[in-house]
């Protein structure tokens, strides 16, 4: 079966223990020549705004806001930082919370409600918010609406209670049947559980790659199968339909490591919302940071030749995601056509999706 390709990530998830907030991912400029991104006017003056939680309980806030002289940032109803159009502040001493939110308020224009992207849970290492990104038109993707994650089988009772408080209402499991059987999901009380098997019916990955080059090719081919395979089209159509219909969000989609099948789901969502491709790539590559401790643990227990074969399967790399976009271009010609013909998302539904998930 298709166990071979996913064996490494299954082991990685099993060995994962915990992960402190990862450094912000960066990526070189990367743009699809056939994308329809454009610059435009937005009521939100922020061109950059981030929250990064530290291991010591502190929060580093960074921002840049054009056309404004003063920015004020509140947490728990109190001002915790002030500055000019550009700034950086470290906030300490805030009370413990499931998730610490910050209100970025410019002198003029609309503000932003942001938190650290990582959701710290005992049973996952790659559970994070899909939002908090700026689109090419200057709008921002809301946070607290859509989450992406690695496997949920190791969630603790405290984790499940936390997800319930975070309003996780729908869980999409992108894994194969053998993965779901071996490591069954734990979902928060009251949440709907939906199987959306990306590789259903696929005949790929019959054997484990024997060399690093074969492993890279397997990952590239897997990404293409996510786009062109019937299982992938059906699964991602389910996810988008669920996001559109669940107005009482939050929605969560996940696979085993939260990086490949989940990575394409999030890349598709962000691209559909108009997030620039270099930002989409940075979000995709961030799994290397969030999963570093787990991946290093796996590789450290393998003989060097075997580790060399496994590493490409534990990684996310630009060529993997790019092969998905290449498949979109080859099969559909444009991303909008992929959304419409591949996933069944027409112009009206896309407009509604943007209305629901964007601010500004």
Last residue of a domain, one of 109, 131, 159: 109
Q: Which distant-in-sequence residues (6+ apart) come within 8 Å of 91 by Cβ?
A: 58, 59, 60, 61, 75, 80, 81
Q: Residue 134: pLDDT above 90?
A: yes
Domain count, the chain: 2
Check residue 102 and give its pLDDT.
98
- Whether 150 shows a pLDDT value over 80: the answer reads yes
Specify if 278 maps to a domain: yes
Q: In the predicted model, what is the mean pLDDT of residues 75-101?
A: 97
Query: Within a domain: residue 31?
Result: yes
Q: Are residues 49 and 143 in the same domain?
A: no
Do residues 146 and 218 both lie within one domain?
yes
Pair (178, 254) in one structural domain: yes
CA 36 to CA 190: how far, in whole Å? 39
* 322 given a catalytic annotation: no
pLDDT, tens digit (0-9, with 9 covering 90-100), for 297-337: 999 999 999 999 999 999 999 999 999 999 999 999 999 99
Q: Can you read off the two tokens belonging to residue 260?
A: 């490949």
Any domain includes 202 = yes
Are residues 173 and 59 located together in one domain of the fold?
A: no
Q: Which residue, 314, 330, 350, is CA-closest to 7?
A: 314
Q: Is the pLDDT of residue 204 over 80?
A: no
Establish if 244 belongs to a structural domain.
Answer: yes
User: Does one domain contain both 87 and 186?
Assistant: no
11-20, 123-132, 135-144, 234-243: range with lowest mean pLDDT: 11-20
Write down which residue in 78, 109, 140 finishes a domain. Answer: 109
Task: Check whether residue 292 and residue 345 sit in a common domain.
Answer: yes
Which of 5, 121, 239, 255 is an active site residue?
A: 255
Q: Are residues 166 and 98 in the same domain?
A: no
User: What number is the average pLDDT over the span 205-233?
Assistant: 92
| pLDDT confidence of residue 206 | 63
CATH code: domain of residue 155? 3.90.190.10
Q: What is the largest CA-CA distance in the chain?
A: 60
Reported confidence tier of residue 205, pLDDT bands at 50, 70, 90:
low
- Closest to 167 measured CA to CA, from 137, 146, 152: 146
Is residue 185 located within the same domain as residue 281? yes
Q: What is the per-residue pLDDT across 23-75, written as a single tens digit (0 to 9) for each?
A: 333 332 233 333 333 344 579 999 999 999 999 999 999 999 999 999 999 99
Burial class of residue 297 (count of CB atoms within 10 Å of its CB; 0-12, 13-18, 19+)? middle
User: Rounded to whole angstroms, how far apart are CA atoms 11 and 75?
Assistant: 39
Work out the percent of the chain whose per-residue pLDDT is above 90. Answer: 84
Note whether 145 and 104 are same-domain residues: no
- Read off the tokens for 209: 């790659």
Q: Which H, E and C letters describe 90-103, residue by residue?
A: EECCCCCCCCCEEE
In this structure, the answer to whether residues 220 and 251 fall within a common structural domain is yes
Query: Is the CB of residue 121 less than 8 Å from the CB of residue 159?
Result: yes
Whether 116 is covered by a domain: the verdict is: no
Give a yes or no: residue 147 inside a domain.
yes
Residue 264 has pLDDT above 60, yes or no: yes
Bridge partner list, 114? 102
Residue 146 and residue 209 in one domain: yes
Dist. CA 296–CA 227, nearest whole Å = 29
- 234 and 167 housed in the same domain: yes
Whether 114 is covered by a domain: the verdict is no
Between the alpha carbon of residue 124 and those of residues 88, 97, 119, 149, 186, the distances in Å are 29, 18, 9, 8, 12
Single pTM value for the model: 0.89
State the residue range of the domain holding 210: 3-44+123-359
């Amino acid at each position: 079966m298709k166990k071979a390709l996913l064996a490494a990530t299954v082991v990685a998830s099993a060995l994962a223990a915990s992960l402190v907030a990862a450094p912000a991912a960066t990526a070189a400029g990367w743009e699809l020549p056939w994308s329809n991104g454009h610059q435009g006017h937005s009521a939100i003056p922020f061109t950059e705004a981030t929250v990064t939680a530290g291991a010591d309980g502190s929060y580093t806030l960074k921002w840049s806001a054009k056309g404004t002289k003063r920015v004020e940032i509140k947490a728990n109803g109190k001002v915790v930082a002030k500055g000019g159009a550009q700034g950086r502040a470290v906030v300490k001493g805030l009370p413990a919370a499931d998730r610490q939110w910050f209100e970025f308020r410019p002198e003029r224009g609309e503000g932003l409600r942001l938190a650290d992207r990582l959701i710290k849970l005992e049973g996952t290492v790659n559970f994070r918010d899909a939002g908090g990104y700026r689109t090419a038109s200057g709008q921002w993707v809301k946070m607290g609406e859509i989450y992406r994650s690695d496997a949920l089988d190791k969630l603790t009772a405290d984790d499940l209670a936390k997800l319930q408080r975070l309003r996780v209402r729908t869980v999409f499991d992108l894994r194969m049947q053998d993965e779901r059987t071996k490591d069954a999901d734990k979902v928060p009380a009251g949440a709907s559980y939906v199987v959306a098997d990306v590789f259903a019916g696929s005949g790929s990955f019959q054997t484990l790659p024997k060399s690093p080059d074969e492993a890279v090719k397997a990952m590239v081919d897997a990404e293409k199968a996510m786009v062109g395979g019937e299982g992938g089209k059906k699964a991602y159509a389910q996810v988008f339909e669920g996001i559109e219909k669940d107005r009482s969000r939050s929605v969560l989609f996940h696979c085993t490591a939260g990086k490949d099948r989940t990575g394409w789901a999030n890349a598709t969502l962000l691209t559909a919302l108009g997030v620039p491709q270099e930002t989409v790539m940075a979000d995709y590559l961030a799994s290397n940071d969030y999963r570093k401790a787990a991946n290093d643990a796996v590789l450290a227990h393998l003989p060097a030749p075997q580790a060399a074969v496994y590493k490409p399967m534990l990684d996310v790399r630009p060529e993997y995601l790019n092969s998905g976009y290449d498949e979109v271009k080859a099969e559909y010609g444009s991303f909008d056509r992929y959304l419409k013909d591949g996933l069944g998302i027409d112009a009206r539904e896309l407009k509604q999706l943007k209305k629901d998930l964007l601010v500004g």
